[in-house]
């Protein structure tokens, strides 16, 4: 968009294969040899001012070109798929295409950008939020449907906007290993993922509980986090091995070898507000792979509430019950087997690719058939 703003035209409506992309696009970077890189760094930050500046910068005349419209006319879409965003640009394009062709919009909603508000003295925040909500109102009232990451966010948006959307759970294609009892001599306990939003603190709570049971017990944490304020507490904990970032292929190997997989969220209000509706691929993969799953976090967080509902392992919503729940998980093989069998059932019911595809296809077909032109 910066290139386009500074008069350098880029092809619009072109489908590229991955191997045809420039390295800078594959790596989500731009060349650092000129001012574009500095502007990109500023623009990638999230703040009300940046959102409003983007809105001014990304004017319709820069993306609504004759070439785009020619491509759209030849493509002749029947429906617009909108991956929801907290920015104006994507929503503007989706609404433009939907109105141009008089077709429905199917929105994919995984985060609560609309209702999630925080107290702020900044007038820019309130200007941004008001303009953003007005645009979302237009998009969701245009006509169509929605696919949601979980039932909790589905119920909220369906009721508010009179939608008939459905939950499309994240799927997992990981192969399940055969049931095996937890190795109580040296259990391999792992966490792979983001350690912000209170997750680092929760991992430390879990590590301390394991250490009380057996001081030699360790948990292995893998994350691409580089900010020292988040990493330090994990690196300094006597019962944590912090490994840093690893490729996804190695993540799958770690999960397959794990006796216990960890799902964690934070407890502080500011963190809960962000993760209230979150349901990451980690949940689907952990249920699918076959290891025992231990969960810790506020019950108000989407992932924690979901794990509590499906009952596929110990879910601790307070640190006070951690040690007793871990002991039961470690030394009760009947409990381990029951959780393994329940995970199979839940994975087949909610997290299979075929099931998710079928549900999503039904959303799109119904949106097209029920759209009032």
pLDDT at position 196 over 90: yes
- The predicted pLDDT at position 28 comes to 46
- Which tens digit of pLDDT belongs to each residue from 71-104? 999 999 999 999 988 878 889 999 999 999 999 9
Give whichever of 2-6, 208-212, 226-230 has the largest mean pLDDT: 208-212
- The predicted pLDDT at position 262 comes to 98
Report in angstroms the alpha-carbon separations of 251 from 28, 235, 313: 21, 19, 21
Give me 326's structure tokens: 């871990």
Among residues 123, 172, 365, the alpha carbon closest in space to that of 280 is found at: 172
- The predicted pLDDT at position 146 comes to 97
pTM of the model: 0.81
pLDDT at position 138 over 60: yes
Residue with tokens 């800078």: 24
Task: Calculate the CA 290 to chain-centre distance.
Answer: 22
Give me 229's structure tokens: 């304020």
Average pLDDT over residues 18-31: 50
Q: Give the number of residues written for the chain.
A: 373
Q: Which residues of 264-293 are buried (b: 16+ CB within 10 A; e: fewer)?
A: bbbbeeebbebbbbbbbebbbbbbbbbbbb
Average pLDDT over residues 148-170: 94
Task: Calculate the CA 243 to chain-centre distance.
Answer: 22
- Which tens digit of pLDDT belongs to each residue from 361-372? 999 999 999 998
Average pLDDT over residues 262-282: 93
- Banded pLDDT at 43 (limits 50, 70, 90): very low
Name all domains of the chain by residue range, CATH numbers in brackets. 2-167 (no CATH), 189-350 (3.40.50.2000)
- The predicted pLDDT at position 39 comes to 46
Q: 145 phi and psi, to 5 degrees?
A: -155, -165
pLDDT at position 158 over 90: yes
pLDDT at position 228 over 80: yes
**Percentage, residues of the chain above pLDDT 90:** 69
- The predicted pLDDT at position 26 comes to 46
- The predicted pLDDT at position 29 comes to 45
- The predicted pLDDT at position 30 comes to 41
């Amino acid at each position: 968009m910066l290139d386009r703003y500074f008069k350098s035209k880029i092809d619009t409506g072109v489908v590229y294969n991955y191997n045809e992309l420039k390295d800078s696009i594959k790596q989500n970077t731009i060349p650092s040899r000129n001012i574009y890189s500095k502007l990109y760094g500023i623009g990638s930050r999230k703040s009300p001012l940046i959102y409003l500046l983007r809105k001014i910068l990304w004017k319709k005349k820069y993306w609504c070109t004759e070439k785009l419209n020619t491509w759209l006319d030849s493509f002749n879409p029947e429906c617009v798929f909108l991956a929801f965003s907290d920015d104006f640009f994507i929503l503007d394009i989706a609404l433009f295409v939907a109105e141009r062709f008089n077709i429905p919009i199917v929105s994919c909603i995984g985060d609560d950008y609309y209702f999630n508000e925080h107290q702020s003295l900044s007038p820019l925040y309130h200007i941004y939020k008001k303009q953003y909500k007005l645009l979302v109102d237009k998009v969701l009232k245009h006509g169509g449907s929605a696919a949601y990451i979980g039932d909790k966010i589905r119920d909220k948006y369906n009721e508010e906007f009179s939608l008939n959307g459905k939950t499309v759970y994240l799927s997992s294609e990981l192969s399940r290993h055969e049931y095996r009892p937890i190795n109580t001599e040296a259990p391999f306990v792992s966490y792979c993922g983001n350690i912000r939003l209170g997750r680092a603190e929760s991992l430390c709570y879990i590590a301390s509980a394991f250490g009380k049971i057996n001081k030699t017990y360790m948990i292995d944490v893998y994350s691409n986090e580089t900010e020292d304020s988040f990493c330090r507490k994990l690196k300094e904990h006597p019962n944590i091995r912090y490994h840093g970032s690893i490729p996804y292929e190695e993540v799958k190997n770690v999960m397959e070898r794990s006796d216990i997989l960890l799902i964690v969220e934070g407890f502080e209000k500011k963190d809960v507000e962000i993760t209230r509706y979150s349901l990451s691929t980690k949940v689907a993969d952990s249920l699918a792979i076959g290891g025992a799953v231990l969960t810790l976090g506020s019950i108000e967080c989407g992932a924690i509430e979901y794990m509590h509902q499906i009952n596929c392992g110990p879910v601790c919503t307070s640190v006070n019950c951690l040690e007793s729940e871990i002991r039961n998980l470690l030394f009760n093989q009947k409990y381990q087997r029951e959780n393994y069998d329940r995970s199979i059932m839940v994975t087949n019911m909610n997290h299979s690719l075929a099931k998710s595809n079928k549900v999503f296809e039904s959303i799109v077909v119904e949106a097209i058939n029920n759209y009032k032109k």
